[in-house]
């Protein structure tokens, strides 16, 4: 009820709290993990928010469910459609199933097999497209038009942002319960739904905490956009094994929130990400997918900056093929 | 305060509760994980108690800390000694360090490198021995005699059993908090400290829940001992890649508890254990070591028995070399 410094933004703490109410008993309150012996080695206190343990194996269920649960009855009957490289697909498919709705998912044909198969297992129709030659938004739009289905956007929707923000709300609550003051929270960023949702919650509840985005090296559009003050895009032909974080530009809705609330943006290359996945395996016993491990990679790279401080890295997902994982931890 | 059906046993619910008090803020209250979509595929409700997320990567810290914290000041000054293939070693080393004590650990020379290195990282002295030619108990006894150090037994000590039982106490509490009635809990068993500690807590708090031990196929001494009614041993030369579960016989203290409180014993071979590790990777995003995954393997093998029921598999540890893990999930 008090006015917040972010009260003119399209997503408020109240929206995130309402999302948390909708998600109660549906989403997992994922743990904030810590390895005491590792903290001593690193020289800073490192906590990992374990979204691989979330329903569907990534944070995406939060935003998808919060959005779909708010659809009017008439819209519910016509189902939902989404385009996604995988985690948003599973989030939407699982949320639709829980709410007794039909879902159609448009996925790139090079999405990891585990993500394609799992999406189908939730009862969704999967339509594949060629990432380099076809326009996924056009395909999704055509399906939405034909069936009257509602498109669930991957990030640029206040309902999606508020849903993802419940992860940040939990981080603030869990830190308070444990008596921990957080100096920084690093959040993986593709279009920016998760990082801005978390920022809305944390800016209100833990205003001294710095929030950073983390991106793959060749997909650092948010970091460059924050530095430039305007939305920047990644050049065509960029490549990364972080399949979950390959959006080309920050969202129209997410970027102004990010610009207001974020302290800056980090990025990490594939080798640093693989190293972070291996560390998570060795020490946290947590399976993190490449795109999910970028925040951890950035935290490790920023050891000097964070010396003596307390940092949360949000591990955003764990949906990775066995072969990719085995290769990453063998590197 | 009420009399329990197990009131004549050497470990009581009160002992487990006292251990939980000692461990507060030291041990992790590990989550009880569930994958909703998997339950539908399996035909029963499967929960995994995630002890890989425990301090030192296995449940062993619980019993070690509960024991060492009860030593008298004079004993504390002379330090502790333990023999262990790895997880007990790390548990004792970490507990001793937290309590400002010296620890010497006697380990087999073929223990996984990650367990040897991690044990040293807690500041413990590591003494290696040849598993096939030397007597680890004699070595540990000599060190204890020379230094006046206290031997922390791996399982056959009421303080150790009570400490491990805090995992079972948490399972009972977490199930009650979530409104879940547990039909069965399957607990990995080497000497029997964990399974009997959990059984003491669960028999008192959730008396309708059946408790089963789970062992590697060639190390099924507890299952055979329960069937025979007397302690049985494993034949020399038995092999398993479950390095954490290679005791030769149930304990003198643990067996009578097991005989009273357990519904029976399961076992699983290496192939079934590797499959369980892969399932934990794919669906729970949890790293489980071979010895830690036997309970999960047994739960999966007992699908028909458990149809429609609710079962907890205790994943007891996650300390596994990268190469061993990569091979297991590739199988």
Q: Which pLDDT tens digit goes with each residue over B178-197?
A: 999 999 999 999 999 999 99
Higher local confidence (pLDDT), A221 or A238: A221
CB of A281 less than 8 A from some CB of B: yes
Q: Compare all CA atoms of chain A with the CA of B41 and give the residue at the minimum distance.
A: A121
Mean pLDDT of chain B: 93
Q: How many percent of chain B have pLDDT more than 90?
A: 80
Report the C-alpha gap between A38 and B121 in whole angstroms. Answer: 10
Query: Is A244 a residue whose pLDDT tops 80?
Result: no
* pLDDT at site A114: 77
Q: Compare all CA atoms of chain B with the CA of A33 and give the residue at the minimum distance.
A: B53
Q: What is the DSSP string of B282-300?
A: III-B---GGGGHHHHHHH
pLDDT band, very low/low/confident/very high, at B5 (cuts 50, 70, 90): low
Q: What global pTM score does this model have?
A: 0.95
Q: Which two tokens stand for residue A19?
A: 């999302």
Cα-Cα-Cα-Cα torsion A137, A138, A141, A145, nearest 10 degrees, comes to: -170
Higher local confidence (pLDDT), B171 or B321: B171
* Beta-carbon contacts of residue B25 (< 8 Å; ≥ 6 apart): none
The answer to whether residues B42 and B310 touch, using CB atoms and an 8 Å cutoff, is no
Contacting residues of B for A282, CB less than 8 Å apart:
114, 322
Of A37, A94, A285, the CB nearest to B121: A37
Phi, psi for residue B268 in degrees, rounded to 5: -145, 145
CB-CB under 8 Å, A330 with B329: no
pLDDT band, very low/low/confident/very high, at B2 (cuts 50, 70, 90): very low
pLDDT band, very low/low/confident/very high, at A144 (cuts 50, 70, 90): confident
Per-residue pLDDT, averaged over A255-273, amounts to 97
pLDDT band, very low/low/confident/very high, at B17 (cuts 50, 70, 90): very high
* pLDDT at site B6: 60
Query: Is B1 a residue whose pLDDT tops 60?
Result: no
CB-CB under 8 Å, B37 with A122: yes
Higher local confidence (pLDDT), B243 or A281: A281
Query: Is A217 a residue whose pLDDT tops 50?
Result: yes
Report the C-alpha gap between A146 and A126 in whole angstroms. Answer: 16
* pLDDT at site A3: 41
pLDDT band, very low/low/confident/very high, at B101 (cuts 50, 70, 90): very high
Higher local confidence (pLDDT), B271 or A247: B271
Contacting residues of A for B53, CB less than 8 Å apart:
31, 33, 284-286
The DSSP output letter for A54 is S
Quote the ipTM score.
0.94
Q: Which pLDDT tens digit goes with each residue over A15-35?
A: 999 999 999 999 999 999 999
Q: What is the DSSP string of A272-319?
A: HHHHHHHHIIIII-B---GGGGHHHHHHHHTHHHHTTSEEEEEE-B--
Report the C-alpha gap between B112 and B118 in whole angstroms. Answer: 10
Mean pLDDT of chain A: 93
CB-CB under 8 Å, A52 with B36: no
Higher local confidence (pLDDT), B217 or B246: B217
Which of B285, B327, B328 has the highest number of chain A CBs within 10 A, making it the mutation to test binding with A? B285
Q: Which pLDDT tens digit goes with each residue over B269-302?
A: 999 999 999 999 999 999 999 999 999 999 999 9
Per-residue pLDDT, averaged over A182-188, amounts to 98
Cα–Cα distances in angstroms (integers) from residue B51 to residues A86, A308, A330, B25, in the given order: 29, 28, 24, 16
Report the C-alpha gap between B260 and B187 in whole angstroms. Answer: 16
CB of B278 less than 8 A from some CB of A: yes
Contacting residues of A for B35, CB less than 8 Å apart:
55
Contacting residues of B for A284, CB less than 8 Å apart:
53
Query: Is B3 a residue whose pLDDT tops 80?
Result: no
Q: Which pLDDT tens digit goes with each residue over A79-101?
A: 999 988 789 999 999 999 999 99
pLDDT band, very low/low/confident/very high, at A275 (cuts 50, 70, 90): very high
CB of A324 less than 8 A from some CB of B: no
Phi, psi for residue A35 in degrees, rounded to 5: -115, 105
CB of B114 less than 8 A from some CB of A: yes
Q: Which pLDDT tens digit goes with each residue over B113-171?
A: 877 888 999 999 999 988 888 887 788 788 888 889 999 999 999 999 999 999 999 99
- How many CA atoms lie within 13 Å of A290's alpha carbon, on the beta-carbon side? 27
Question: CA nearest A121: which of A144, A101, A99, A97?
Answer: A97
The answer to whether residues B91 and B23 touch, using CB atoms and an 8 Å cutoff, is no
CB-CB under 8 Å, B33 with A285: no
Instruction: Estimate to the nearest angstrom the gap between the alpha carbon of B175 and the chain centroid.
Output: 20
The DSSP output letter for A58 is B
């Amino acid at each position: 009820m008090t006015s917040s410094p972010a009260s003119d933004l399209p997503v408020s703490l109240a929206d995130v709290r309402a999302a948390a109410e909708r998600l109660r008993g549906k989403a997992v309150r994922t743990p904030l993990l810590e390895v005491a012996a590792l903290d001593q080695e690193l020289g800073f206190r490192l906590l990992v928010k374990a979204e691989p343990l979330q329903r569907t194996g990534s944070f995406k269920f939060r935003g998808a469910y919060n959005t779909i649960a708010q659809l009017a009855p008439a819209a519910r009957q016509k189902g939902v459609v989404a385009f996604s490289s995988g985690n948003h697909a599973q989030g939407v498919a699982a949320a639709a199933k829980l709410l007794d709705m039909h879902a159609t998912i448009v996925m790139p044909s090079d999405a990891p097999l585990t993500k394609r198969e799992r999406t189908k297992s939730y009862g969704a129709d999967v339509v594949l497209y060629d990432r380099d030659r076809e326009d996924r938004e056009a395909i999704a739009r055509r399906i939405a038009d034909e069936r009257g289905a509602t498109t669930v956007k991957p990030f640029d929707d206040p309902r999606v942002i508020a849903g993802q923000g419940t992860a940040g709300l939990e981080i603030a609550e869990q830190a308070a319960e444990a008596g921990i003051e957080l100096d920084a929270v690093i959040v993986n960023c593709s279009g920016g739904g998760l990082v801005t949702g978390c920022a809305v919650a944390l800016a209100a509840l833990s205003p001294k905490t710095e929030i950073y985005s983390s991106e793959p090296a060749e997909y650092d559009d948010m970091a460059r956009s924050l530095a430039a003050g305007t939305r920047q895009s990644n050049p065509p032909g960029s490549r990364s094994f972080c399949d979950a974080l390959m959006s080309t530009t920050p969202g129209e809705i997410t970027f102004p929130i990010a610009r207001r609330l974020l302290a800056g943006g980090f990025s990490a290359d594939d080798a640093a990400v693989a190293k972070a996945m291996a560390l998570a395996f060795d020490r946290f016993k947590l399976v993190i997918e490449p795109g999910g491990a970028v925040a951890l990679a950035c935290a490790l790279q920023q050891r000097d900056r964070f010396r003596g401080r307390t940092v949360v890295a949000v591990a955003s997902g764990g949906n990775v093929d066995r072969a990719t994982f085995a290769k990453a931890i063998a590197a």
